[in-house]
Amino acid sequence: MTQNFTTRTLDLTTGSREGVFDLTRECARFLQEAAQGRDGLLNVFVPHATAGIAVIETGAGSDEDLLAALKDLLPADDRWRHRHGSPGHGRDHVLPAFVPPHATLPVVAGELALGTWQSVTLVDTNVDNPRRQVRLSFLG
């Protein structure tokens, strides 16, 4: 079986507030071109030390709940040894240990095989960096 590998980088503006940004449509658009109806794997990777990729429900409060849980778990205060940037920015550098910078997802017949309420999201708590890149790679 011949396998193809295709990759693309998304350039995103996340703004100056913490957020959960839905990437599901961008992933689907990429797969229309890259997968062309084939089965395979989609890898979503954010090459930043202060952001992560999560597969969660969005729009029904789960995205806000995730940010609230991260604030409880990783408060933006002066406890962090990593001390450049905004107050509490050190916690942003710990975030990828809890929300990893990647996800690998199944692709069936050219489409993401997500559950009914699942979305692919970028989780960004770093208010100092409003520009992000996300690399989408398809192997199939």
What's the pLDDT at 109? 98
Assign 121 a pLDDT band (cuts: 50, 70, 90): very high
Residue with tokens 């959960």: 20
Question: pLDDT, tens digit, for every residue of 34-47?
Answer: 999 999 999 999 99
What's the pLDDT at 2? 64
Say if residues 26 and 136 touch (Cβ distance below 8 Å): yes
> CB neighbours of 28 closer than 8 A, spacing ≥ 6?
111, 112
* Mean pLDDT of the region 117-123: 98
Spatial distance between the Cα atoms of 88 and 111, rounded to a whole number of angstroms: 39
Q: Has domain 5-139 been given CATH number 2.60.120.460?
A: yes
User: Which class for 87: exposed (0-12), middle (13-18), buried (19 or more C-beta within 10 A)?
Assistant: exposed
Question: pLDDT, tens digit, for every residue of 50-80?
Answer: 999 999 999 999 999 999 999 999 999 999 9
Give, as one character, the DSSP assignment of residue 126. Answer: -
Assign 3 a pLDDT band (cuts: 50, 70, 90): confident
Say if residues 111 and 44 touch (Cβ distance below 8 Å): no
